[in-house]
Amino acid sequence: MLRRLSDSHVAVVGLGYVGMPLALMLAKHMRVTGFDIHQERVEELKEGFDRNREIEGPLLRTTTCDFTSEVPDICDCNVYIVTVPTPIDGHNKPDLGPVESATKTVASVLKKGDIVVYESTVYPGVTEGICGPLLEQGSGLKSGKHFFLGYSPERINPGDAEHTVQKITKVVSGQTEEVSDFLAALYGQMNNGNIFRARDIRTAEASKAIENAQRDINVAFINEVTMILNKLGLSSYDVLEAAGTKWNFLKFSPGLVGGHCIGVDPYYLAECAQNIGHEPRVILAGREINDSMGPYVASCIHDLLVKETGSGKSGKILLMGFTFKENINDIRNTKVLDILKALQALGHDVAIHDPHARLEDVRHEYGIDIMSTLPDKAEYDVAALLVSHDVYKEMTPESLQSIVRRGGVIYDMKGIWRHMAVELAYRFSYQTL
């Protein structure tokens, strides 16, 4: 028998980009405890500091949500929402290790009548076929009889102040109709009942798996078109601007596809397809194209530098931007790393600037040092804009001239300086995708 919503105590397991905002929003309506295995993260949150810069200090300091890294602190909860990452390994295979570890933690405190909801991106069948048995094994209870499963795919977009967790449609699904009703009421508290009930858990899992795969394929098409247009001597941004005047043209832009979702989730769908004997040609072709963009951009920068210098000598190159998208500090699966490695392999001296990335995180994760402030000497042969942070959009030809030597190269991968291309051309060789 399920508890009433008013009597429920929710544990959000995993306090990252997904779990943290969810925990705070739910805590406005009910009792919530946020759990994370990283004690340092928990202590920072207790002090009102979010290193992800998604939550403001005043909201953290006034929330009723409790934060803990101690498992006994969530033993009296009756709803467990798992929001841990689902990465891929070095062979682009799904790594369910974090989900399995979180599941075992929940199993250790699971009781009769409890509900375990997964928000982590998985392929169809993981919640009931992998997580359910792990919960049974660790708790000695029976899924669908003593405890119940649910799935509600996360749709958090880091750095997006418009599509926040309380403003988007929440897909929910439960092992039974009663569980689905309960989850609809639980999530509906925070988004005014903007709920879509999926037919079943596997349907909800599949819906999440295809959301980011669709975006990945659309971007891959634009990236491949960009390569074609560049060989024709055309700017993809000029062409896309013209094509975008048609009412049903889908407006995607070329660029690097990294991060924890679009660059990862299609591999989960591909793994599922291969497991049932279907070769996912379009999905994997899209991944191959997007994964090739880093080396392609590096080759463009190299060729432009060689053209301008008239020799094959190495140059000093400044890469502007390191995070996987603009105006956030998230460096997970950043494809700027591919550009760095390719340029270094070609013999260039490469430096990186990013105003948002945490320097210690970059050093710990990738073993490299980057700058948080722009250099004050015009010592670079090339400045390559890779991530369209606002601070870069505000730059002028004069500010760029303080970084790049006169006659040097401005490579604008994101097209943010196209409006001043003519003015830039008086000082530099300017090129965009």
> Predicted confidence band at 156 (pLDDT cuts at 50, 70, 90)?
confident
User: Tell me, what's the pLDDT at 1?
Assistant: 65
Catalytic residue, chosen from 131, 261, 272, 300, is 261
> Mean pLDDT throughout 321-348?
96
> Mean pLDDT throughout 332-357?
97
How far does Cα 373 stand from its chain's mean position?
24
User: Tell me, what's the pLDDT at 311?
Assistant: 65
Buried b (16+ CB within 10 A) or exposed e, 23-40: bbbbbeebbbbbbbbeee
> Predicted confidence band at 336 (pLDDT cuts at 50, 70, 90)?
very high
User: Tell me, what's the pLDDT at 106?
Assistant: 98
Q: Is the pLDDT of residue 338 over 80?
A: yes
E strand or H helix that includes residue 150: strand 148-151
Strands of the sheet containing 349-353, edge to edge, are 349-353, 316-320, 380-385, 404-412, 429-432
What digits encode the pLDDT tens for the residues 63-75? 999 999 999 999 9
User: Tell me, what's the pLDDT at 103?
Assistant: 98
> Predicted confidence band at 28 (pLDDT cuts at 50, 70, 90)?
very high
> Predicted confidence band at 292 (pLDDT cuts at 50, 70, 90)?
very high
Q: Which one, of 82, 122, 128, lies nearest residue 269 by Cα? A: 122
Q: Which one, of 398, 257, 240, lies nearest residue 417 by Cα? A: 398
261 is catalytic: yes
Q: Which one, of 103, 132, 122, lies nearest residue 202 by Cα? A: 122
d(CA 205, CA 369): 38
What digits encode the pLDDT tens for the residues 206-237? 999 999 999 999 999 999 999 999 999 999 99
Whole-number percent of the chain with pLDDT over 70: 99
Where do we find the tokens 């600037």? 353
> Mean pLDDT throughout 409-418?
97
Q: What is the dihedral of CA 138, 139, 141, 143, to 10 degrees?
A: -60
Helices (H), 258-358: 265-275, 281-291, 293-309, 336-345
Q: Is the pLDDT of residue 310 over 80?
A: no
Q: Is the pLDDT of residue 198 over 80?
A: yes
How far does Cα 240 stand from its chain's mean position?
25
User: Tell me, what's the pLDDT at 102?
Assistant: 98
Going along the chain from its start, the domains and CATH numbers come out as: 5-200 (3.40.50.720), 292-432 (3.40.50.720)
How far does Cα 185 stand from its chain's mean position?
28
Q: Is the pLDDT of residue 15 over 90?
A: yes
Q: Is the pLDDT of residue 309 over 80?
A: no
User: Tell me, what's the pLDDT at 312?
Assistant: 67
Q: Is the pLDDT of residue 331 over 90?
A: yes
> Predicted confidence band at 57 (pLDDT cuts at 50, 70, 90)?
confident
Where do we find the tokens 């009889």? 145
What digits encode the pLDDT tens for the residues 267-285? 999 999 999 999 999 999 9
Question: Any idea what the Cα angle at residue 227 is, between residues 221 and 233, rounded to 5°?
Answer: 135
d(CA 265, CA 362): 23
d(CA 335, CA 274): 26
Whole-number percent of the chain with pLDDT over 90: 90
